[in-house]
């Protein structure tokens, strides 16, 4: 039995982020589904794993973690010798750049992109109606972020450096959903961003995450 357990669902962007890191590291794990519709994430025993009642939670032996980005950083550090590095080995300047783009994803990209995904995809799943005005406003904000990405990616193959890192991986879940909507034009109209998206979404580890959604 795998010592690593992930409590979550494969449709969740936060859970997908953790699964991608585990697959990149070629680690064995057990995915334990959480019945969100029944509110299991707001009840015990899940609350003992994450008192904030949000998925995912990870157990690795006697360690329990929540917050997907913290989990992926733990995976990268704890299993640094396995699979893909995820944190580019190099000088402190390279590590600092990686942290910069990790923060950019969490503070500049995801707050906008996740709201677009909610409007375009998840509202429909919950029987709600998309707000076109909200989508237009959000896409206007995302355009400005992607223009900065375009400039950055003209200088390096990936966001932090010329290696694939967590800074790239963290973008995958929301990009995956947006590329199935009209919002994909925002990415495809920027050559460097488009090339970057193609590279990171074509990774074998990511294909395994997407396959989990089909099971």
pLDDT for the residue numbered 214:
86
The Cα 94–Cα 161 span in angstroms is 7
Between 95 and 14, name the one with better pLDDT: 14
Residue 135 has pLDDT above 80, yes or no: yes
CATH number reported for the structural domain that contains residue 121 in this entry: 1.20.1050.10
| pLDDT(191) > 70 | yes
pTM listed for this prediction:
0.96
Q: Is the pLDDT of residue 120 over 90?
A: yes
Q: Please tell me the predicted confidence (pLDDT) of residue 88.
A: 80
In this prediction, residue 215 carries a pLDDT of 84
With contact defined as beta carbons under 8 Å apart, do 34 and 46 qualify?
yes
- Give the pLDDT mean for 17-31: 98
Residues 79 and 170 in one domain: no
Specify the number of domains making up the chain: 2
What is the residue whose two structure tokens read 């707050």? 111
pLDDT in tens, 137-174: 999 999 999 999 999 999 999 999 999 999 999 999 99
Could you tell me the pLDDT band of residue 205, with boundaries at 50, 70 and 90? very high
**Residue 60 sits in the same domain as residue 97:** no
Asked if the model's pLDDT at residue 91 lies above 90, the reply is no
pLDDT band at 11 (very low <50, low <70, confident <90, very high): very high
Same domain, 181 and 124: yes
> What was the pLDDT predicted at 20?
98
- pLDDT on residue 1: 58
> CATH code at 67?
3.40.30.10
Indicate whether 2 pLDDT > 80: no
Report, as an integer, the average pLDDT of 116-123: 96
Torsions phi, psi of 11, nearest 5?
A: -85, -15
Please check the confidence at residue 186 and state whether its pLDDT lies above 80.
Answer: yes
Q: Is 52 exposed, middle or buried (0-12, 13-18, 19+ CB in 10 A)?
A: exposed
49/122 same-domain check: no
Q: Which domain covers residue 181, as residue numbers?
A: 92-207
- More confident site: 127 or 134: 134
How far is Cα 73 from Cα 77, in angstroms, rounded to an integer?
6
Rounded to the nearest integer, the mean pLDDT of the chain is 96
């Amino acid at each position: 039995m795998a010592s690593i357990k992930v409590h979550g669902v494969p449709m969740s962007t936060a859970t997908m982020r953790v699964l991608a890191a585990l697959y990149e590291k070629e680690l064995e794990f057990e995915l334990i589904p959480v019945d969100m519709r029944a509110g299991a994430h707001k009840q015990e025993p899940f609350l003992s794993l994450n008192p904030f009642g949000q998925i995912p939670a990870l157990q690795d032996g006697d360690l329990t973690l929540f917050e997907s980005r913290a989990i992926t950083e733990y995976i990268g550090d704890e299993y640094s010798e396995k699979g893909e590095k995820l944190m580019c080995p190099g000088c402190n300047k390279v590590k600092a750049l990686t942290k910069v783009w990790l923060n950019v994803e969490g503070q500049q990209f995801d707050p906008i992109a996740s709201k677009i995904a909610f409007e375009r995809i998840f509202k429909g799943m919950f029987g709600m109606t998309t707000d076109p005005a909200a989508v237009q406003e959000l896409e206007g904000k995302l355009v400005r972020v992607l223009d900065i990405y375009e400039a950055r990616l003209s200088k390096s193959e990936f966001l932090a450096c010329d290696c694939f890192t967590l800074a790239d991986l963290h973008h995958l879940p929301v990009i995956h959903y947006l590329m199935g909507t009209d919002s994909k034009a925002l990415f495809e109209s920027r050559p460097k961003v488009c090339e970057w998206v193609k590279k990171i979404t074509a990774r074998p580890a990511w294909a395994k995450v997407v396959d989990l959604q089909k099971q």
